[in-house]
Amino acid sequence: MQVLLSSGSPRRRELLSLLGIPFLVRIPNISESQHKGETARRFCARISREKALAMARQYPEALVIGADTVVVVDGEILGKPRDMNQARDFLMLLQNKTHDVFTGYTLMLGKHAKSRVVRTRVRFKQMTPEEISWYVESGEPMDKAGAYAVQGIASLFIDHIQGSYTNVMGLPISELYDDLRCFGIRFQGE
């Protein structure tokens, strides 16, 4: 069975490759705007379904995986920063606090679909203005939800993670592994 990742995220590609199954990558063209009153959990679940559906229509025989990750602090969704100033603002909000990272993913094969949202709690240390500037100037925050990459330089400032580490990277691989098996995907050693 062909597996297709409906996402342009290099981190998701990297994580999915850990499972040792061949897959194709296609980038969906969908709007990722939040609806008024939509919670972060519902938002990332909806976007993951829309990403999966966009590719499932084009590849009806493939098992399609759509995913979306959001960072939420004090009830506010922090997307990818539009510029360095917004990245600084995001990091100011995150420092010395615990925030939530939600990843929604949807598996779709024909008329069968399964969606799941995984939540991880992340706590940042207090950061000096110089540390924030140094991190932003590294360029790492610029294409990341919440303006940080847990697997990169930002790890210097993360005090605690409760839940799935790979979820913070963009794909909760343990949960995905279980759900892929339910769709008949077999892994090495099985």
pLDDT at 188: 72
**Which one from 68, 74, 143, 178 is the annotated catalytic residue?**
68
pLDDT of residue 31: 87
What is residue 189's predicted lDDT score, i.e. its pLDDT?
66
Other CB atoms within 10 A of residue 28 CB: 18
**Mean pLDDT, 10 residues at a time, the chain of 190 residues:** 93 93 93 89 96 95 96 92 97 97 97 96 97 97 94 96 97 96 82
Length of the chain: 190
Could you give all domains of the chain from N- to C-terminal order, each with its CATH number? 3-182 (3.90.950.10)
Alpha helix locations (H) across 8-122?
A: 10-17, 40-58, 84-94
* Cα-based angle 7, 57, 53 (whole degrees, multiple of 5): 50
DSSP 112-133: EEEEEEEEEEEEEPP--HHHHH
**pTM of the entire predicted model:** 0.93
83 is catalytic: no
